[in-house]
Structure formats: C-alpha cells, structure tokens
C-alpha cells in the first residue's frame, strides 16, 4: 500500500513497485501523480529489477537508486548515516529542481529507512523537531516502526 505523507511525498515498500503485477503497480504510481521513485533498498537484485522496470517501460518516471544499508544501529554511525544523508539529499535535490515533483520513497518494507528519510525531510521543510515529523508519518502510515533511540539523537 502506498501512503501519501504530504502533497509531494509518498511512502511504500518495494512490493508496491515490484509486486506480482508490475504494470498494475506502474498504473497505481501514475494514478497518484508520482513523478519520481527513490529506492533506498540496498539489495543489488532489487535495484537491478527496479532499474529494468523503469528503463524498459518508458513510462515517464524518474528512478533514483540510493541504497541505504540495513542496520539496527543508531542512525549516527557510518555507513548507515551516510546512506540516510545521501537519500535525504537526493529527495531534497529533486524537490529543489522540480517543485511540482511527487516522490515515492520506498525501502524493503516501508517501516524503517524510508519513514526516517521522509520524517527528516518534513522536519527540515517545516522547521519542526524530528519526533513531530515522525508523528505525521506515523499518522499516514501506522505500520512504521518508531525508533525512539533515533528521535532522541
């Protein structure tokens, strides 16, 4: 399920893009007006499949792969923080270059990495604390995991 978090930011898991019916998934993206897909999945096979889907379908989406390693560590340790920051920078760059962009950010399950990235962007955009932004994301996508250790950093 793809969840709309703000007018421009959407959140999901990889199966919403590479599910059993990729053409249906592409149709869902189009119906939501999504223009960019930012995958933070770290697995090379998933990256390859997504790149092929978006390249071969000639569907008008802009695909960005910004792998963020899987980690149970606090998000202040490399390479975790490096990947998170690069993904945040990628989304912010898209928003600056294309003010009308509608961006789907997804990771494998859509419960850890991508919610953290979107919450970080919302916090920066609206000048709020990360825990406030996390609650906005959580309200739109109740299945996310809140990492209190992240919110206190």
pLDDT, tens only, 7-66: 999 999 998 888 888 778 888 899 999 999 999 998 888 888 888 888 765 678 899 998
Is 1 inside a domain boundary?
Answer: no
- Whether this model's pTM surpasses 0.85: yes
With bands split at pLDDT 50, 70 and 90, how would you rate the model's confidence at 91?
A: very high
Cα 75 to chain centroid, rounded = 16
* Residue scoring higher pLDDT (41 or 73): 41
Specify if 60 maps to a domain.
yes
For the chain, the domain total comes to 1
**Does residue 89 lie in a domain region?**
yes
Q: Comparing 5 with 81, which gets the higher pLDDT?
A: 5
The CATH number given to whatever domain includes residue 97 is: 3.90.190.10
8 A C-beta contact, residue 108 and residue 15? no
More confident residue, 118 or 146: 118
Tell me if 141 is assigned to some domain: yes
Contacts 24+ apart (CB under 8 A), 148-153: 149/74, 150/74, 150/75, 150/116, 153/74, 153/75, 153/76
From the CB of residue 21, how many other CB atoms can be counted at a distance below 10 Å? 10
Domain carrying residue 77: 6-151
């Amino acid at each position: 399920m793809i969840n709309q978090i703000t007018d421009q930011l959407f959140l999901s898991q990889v199966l919403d893009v590479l599910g059993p019916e990729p053409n249906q998934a592409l149709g869902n993206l189009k119906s939501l007006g999504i223009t960019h897909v930012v995958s933070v999945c770290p697995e090379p096979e998933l990256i390859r499949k997504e790149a092929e889907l978006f390249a071969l379908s000639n569907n008008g989406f802009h695909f960005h792969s910004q792998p963020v390693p899987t980690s149970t560590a606090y998000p202040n340790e490399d390479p975790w923080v490096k990947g998170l920051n690069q993904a945040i920078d990628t989304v912010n760059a898209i928003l600056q270059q294309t003010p009308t962009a509608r961006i789907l950010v997804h990771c494998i399950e859509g419960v850890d990495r991508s919610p953290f990235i979107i919450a970080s962007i919302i916090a920066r955009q609206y000048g709020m604390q990360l825990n406030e932004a996390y609650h906005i994301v959580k309200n739109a996508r109740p299945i996310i995991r809140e990492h209190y250790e992240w919110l206190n950093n």
